[in-house]
A = this chain, B = another copy of it.
Amino acid sequence: MKEMLRVGVIGLGCRGTGLLQTCLLPQKDVQVTAVCDCYEDRRDRAVQLVLDAGQPRPRALADHRVLLAMEEVDAVVITASWDSHINLACDAMNAGKYTALEVGGAYSLDDCWKLVRTYEQTGTECMILENCCYGRDELMVLNMVRRGLLGEIVHCQGGYCHDLRDEISQGRENRHYRFRNYLGRNCENYPTHELGPIANVLDINRGNRMLTLVSVASKAAGLHDYILREKGADYDAAQMRFAQGDVVTTIIKCARGETITLRLDTTLPRAYSRGFQVQGTRGMFMEDNNSVFLDGRDNRYDYSWKERWNSAEEYRQDYDHPIWKAYLAEGIKGGHDGMDWLEFRAFIEAARANAPAPIDVYDAAAWMSISCLSEQSVALGGMPMPIPDFTNGKWLQRKPWME
């Protein structure tokens, strides 16, 4: 086990810079030895952050191949754009660096297979940085499911419901890749925040798998209306037609018979939600009113559920996941309500030990494939699409996540 993990960061936009500050530089067992981005201003900012943290000056590189050739890099964190990060991850695995890959949907099944094949050929571990798998609610519900509280699980829902109209329309100026994606594509473009935790609840790639999906998109009206109001009719993007439907609904069917409903909802005014719901034969969790319904206990509230809104809080003591109980005791750190920190601890500890990735390429490939599959389903009017078995049958005997 390495005492100190030497990390290179590739991709220094908003997310890469944020993670550097909140989840890498504060770690006692991490040294950031290299930072890489094609923009100089971003590299300079990153170097300064490393220096401010009291670490030696890292190498600042425009070419990721130079970073991947550095002996002083044990592990790589890839926080680049959706269209570059899978290739970068494969390059990193080929270079023998323990790899972490930020989330985002895939553009093709071939890219997903490439991730799997590169892992299988190199034996280098690669973790997808799906922070919501470490969310407090998500882990509490996983714990409830594992302990049988909700019975046999039948249906799950989730969503990436996040008003991004400001970010997307600013993308015109600030080089954010979401802008060009919303102009050109129409799909479930960001499935993993909700799907990751659901996949863990349903043992996807670990005793179960996703078989098929259908996706249907609404019209695209939200961004245009927003840009007209906020930027005016003379702003060039006010004349552009966005391909991306405002709400994309996807239904996935699993080998054990469960259904999963996903909702992408990022260009209309609304409050943030991951719309998490887990339903079994003995009970149900619903994020949007933070409730737990248990059969035999809550049935008398059938027509007065308002009285039980927020009832999930009653389950914290018995069902908060052990890693969250320990974490709450020591104090929450990092961004996104603390889940980024837990995710990075899992990554850093696995990388120091060169242990199997906490969330691996099979999960990454399966979860990210939803984007390109949904794109084709939407284009074909909701036609069912087969979801490949990226494990090639290994799902039949792989052990459940975090068990």
Question: Is residue A358 within 8 Å, beta carbon to beta carbon, of the partner chain?
Answer: no
CB–CB A293/B305 < 8 A: no
A302 to B279, CA, bound (A): 26
Chain B residues lying within 8 Å of A305, measured Cβ to Cβ, are 271-273
Specify which of B257, B259, B281, B380 is in contact with A222 (CB 8 Å cutoff). Answer: B281
Min CB distance, A184 to chain B, in Å?
A: 18
The segment from A105-113, A189-197, A246-254 that touches chain B is: A246-254
For chain A, give the interface size range: 35 or more
The answer, among B247, B259, B273, B290, for a CB contact under 8 Å with A216, is: B259
> Would you call A258 an interface residue if the criterion is a C-beta within 8 Å of the partner chain's C-beta atoms?
yes
Please give, as numbers and ranges, the residues of chain B lying within 8 Å of A214 by CB-CB distance.
214, 216, 251, 382, 384
The reply on A226 being an interface residue by CB < 8 A is yes
Measured between beta carbons, the chain B residues less than 8 angstroms from A293 are: 269-271
Query: With an 8 A cutoff between CB atoms, is A298 at the interface?
Result: yes
Given the complex, which residues of B lie within 8 Å of A256, measured CB to CB? 219
Query: Does chain B have a CB within 8 A of A393?
Result: no
Question: Which residues does chain B contribute within 8 Å of A258, judged by CB atoms?
Answer: 218-219
Contacts of A308 in B (CB 8 A): 271
Interface residue A301 (Cβ < 8 Å from any Cβ of B): yes
Contacts of A154 in B (CB 8 A): 218-219, 221-222, 246-247, 268
CA distance A257 to B294 in the complex (A): 38
A168 to B97 Cα, complex, angstroms: 58
Give A162's nearest chain B residue, CB to CB.
B302
Instruction: From B217, B294, B299, B310, give the contact of A259 (CB < 8 A).
Output: B217
Which among A296, A301, A303 has the greatest number of chain B C-beta atoms within 10 A? A303
A356-391 near B? 1/0 per residue, CB < 8 Å: 000000000000000000000000111110000000
Closest to A165 in B: B295
A288-B289, A305-B273, A381-B384 known; A281+B221 contact, CB < 8 A: yes
Knowing A152-B225, A259-B218, say if A290 contacts B306 (CB, 8 Å). yes
Q: Mark A209-241, 1 if CB is under 8 A from B, else 0.
A: 000111011110110011000000000000000
- List 28 A-B pairs, Cβ < 8 Å: A152-B221, A152-B225, A154-B219, A154-B246, A154-B268, A155-B218, A155-B265, A163-B302, A212-B381, A213-B382, A214-B214, A214-B216, A214-B384, A216-B251, A222-B281, A245-B259, A251-B382, A261-B261, A268-B279, A271-B293, A271-B298, A271-B305, A273-B305, A288-B289, A380-B384, A381-B384, A382-B382, A383-B384
